[in-house]
Structure 1
Amino acid sequence: MFKKVVLPLIAAVILAVSLSGTALAAEGDEPGRIKARGEVIAVDPVAGKFRVENKEGEVFTFFVNENTSFRGLDSLTEMQVGWKAGVAAREVGGKFWAVLVIAGEPLDLHQVRGRVVGVNTSAGKFSIETPSGEELRFFVDERTRYGGQISSLEELEEGMGAGVVYKGHSEGKLIAVGLVAGHAPDLVKARGEITAVEPRLGKFEILTAGGERMRFSVDENTRYQGQLTSLDEMQVGWKAAVAAREEDGQLTAVLVIAGIRPEPVRAQGLIVGVDPAAGTFRLEKADGSVLTFFVNERTTYKGQASGISELKEGMRAGVGGFENQDGNLVARVVLTGTPPDERPEIIRARGIIKTVNPGAEKFQLEKSDGSVLTVYVDGRTGYRGQVSDFDGLEKGMRVGFAGYVDSDGKITARLVIAGNPRSDRQRGEGPAPEIDTPREDRIQIPLT
């Protein structure tokens, strides 16, 4: 078993190294966890939640419960805005539930990670090589704290992955305040469908997508995520992801993530209500039914809105998401746009080119009834027939176009099909076919 030493008081030590991904499987680096590091910007102990903003400006809302572990503080009531925090969480029901929270006041410390390349216990120092190839030397003292698979400098080995929190010394030395190091275990990872469960024997079996049957044992150290907290709750037919260690040919699960895959939901309609504070909006479908969707930090937006605060009643929206265990609809993608009655009017016409004005990027088309349309083109206009661009248009050509009329009455072509009638027909042939003009039932015109 890995040796673990809690690093009390120096929250920044753990924050810097246990969530950095360097090596510290012994600190609970489980696959499938959501991790965030940054500054605490809001704390609500009554609601059991807090918010962290990372250096990219992303804001995460985390909830805590009786299963949340704290380091650097005893509970959420001690947390303060402005503290630095690192969080490992799992997503359940569209919410991020914190498994581990490490937080504390910002300290004048630095952090680095790398591979141990030298250890001198008698001199109380060690060296690591960073991912960039730089070699750094650190000294330890009686205040240095240890974690991961080591509890002292004597247990540190070359080749281990290490995370170091350090401070500068007046003599120019780097003093290690915290050192977490260890060998990352080689784990067997598999995904598939659960085909057998034997709680009394502490075993279960999955069938992978490749058709391989894999049998796993569990023990008191096996951790569970998803829709179960123990092997007793596992059910045949569930989907599962497993990380296991192999010993003497037997696979023992270190982590099991299992459950029923969320039911996907897709809907489109008009937004009839928005509640940013609650993180919800209501969508009325064409059949008159209304769906309430929840959003969270993982919801993405496309179209006319970049967040829930920009959603407005009357907007047309398409939503892709899922129904969680609580029966709530959680939006993963929200696409918004203008209702059809506010979109530009589509126009199609054909006739003979009367004039061409390259400087203004427009031409005049005379229809068979003698009316004349002025048609503009732009960089998105496509061409077919005997022309490949605007420069190929000539007075007298037969032309058909499809485009739209904007709010100012300006006609812009999205597709122009033009050419001259054939003059090399043999006697007895029928009339030259007209230029193939757009038909509403076979052509789609992008308007945005």
Structure 2
Amino acid sequence: MTPGLMIAAPASGTGKTTVMLGLLRAFRDAGLRVQPFKSGPDYIDPAFHRAASGRPSFNLDSWAMAAGMLHGLGAKASDADLVLAEGSMGLFDGVATPGATGNGASADVARRMGWPVVLVIDVSGQAQSAAATALGFARYDPDVEIAGVILNRVASPRHERLARSGMAAVGLRVFGALPRRGDLKLPERHLGLVQASEHPDLDARIADYATFLRDHVDLDALRGAARAVGDPIEAVEAPRLAPPAQRIALAQDAAFSFVYPHMLAGWRDAGAEILPFSPLDDEAPAADADLVWLPGGYPELHAGRLAAAEHFRAGLIAHAQTRPVHGECGGYMALGQGLIDADGVRHAMAGLLGLVTSYERRKMHLGYRHATLVAPMAGAPVGTALRGHEFHYSTILDQPDPALAHVVDAEGTAVAETGSYRARVTGTFFHLIAPDA
């Protein structure tokens, strides 16, 4: 098995993503084949990982994925020299009720895959006290190995000496110390980082991160700390939904880009053909496609262009007369009657569903979802159980169509966002991750 590390942190906002990108590029520049992964249901970071490493990055999610799927995806690293997985939120942050395999925490994935954890610690505002935080993480779960720490946002050489002395006092290894730099933060918007495709200077940024990491982190020691899983579950082909169709017209542009890489890879591996098109460029889906799939994204930022895309809308409506159309989150909203942007302006959408949503009335909807279909959805029959994740800020003003599924959160509490359907057109607010185990 390929040795690996989980790059994690005590909390969000510590700078672990920029550390991850710098490490991926630095090891790649050293001639290593580095396989990236992302813990949890993040559909933005994997594109950054790919830009830094030159290899596709895949999500590993212990709440949504069965053990066989986790290890099957882990086998994507079989031809790599090193695995680097990026954690999400704080290392031990997961849900209260376990799902398909575990609770979705980064620590859960690290434990199951056998990867030691490197904690990125933001030491701004503290010195030796940072060691108390790191020691607590090291002792919280004896089955999760903390290999050491990278100190981030160090203010001065004296600050570094004090922080290092604290770590030495509790026996924790320091792999490096990163001086504070205001230009290392990637820009964000309401669903996370601004998408990789929107950074014209992304490669230069990542190259700068790599230089910074090489200058301040012991890369050889870090690689030496990586380990493969000691007693692996046999890696099997990841179970997944069969491709929803043979020829899938997939919307792909700045408005529709939130697709989990493992989903597309699974469809392609099973022989499906993906036919990309851009609604923002007023492109219609391929006339000979069997299914149109509109992923999530940021339609609210491009609502005016979408409303004016007459060729796209006409092609979508024509397709729906005879073949299925499915939308996830932003794609679901684009299938509705109208979308009200943050300024209160209403834009006409495709009108294939009755849904009306508003970004003027912002409310965060976030969490895992378990759905049982009460109507067919893009190749999946009634009764199919699905696991996914919902994250958006829109408010439903009208949803006159029948519910598509019975949907509950990770604790089994019913949620109002059930999705809906009309004839061959379906939509959900959750992003599909995996079939239920």
| Bigger share in strand | 1
| Higher relative contact order, structure no. (Cα contacts within 8 Å, ≥ 6 residues apart) | 2
TM-score (norm 2): 0.24
Could you say which structure has the larger radius of gyration?
A: 1
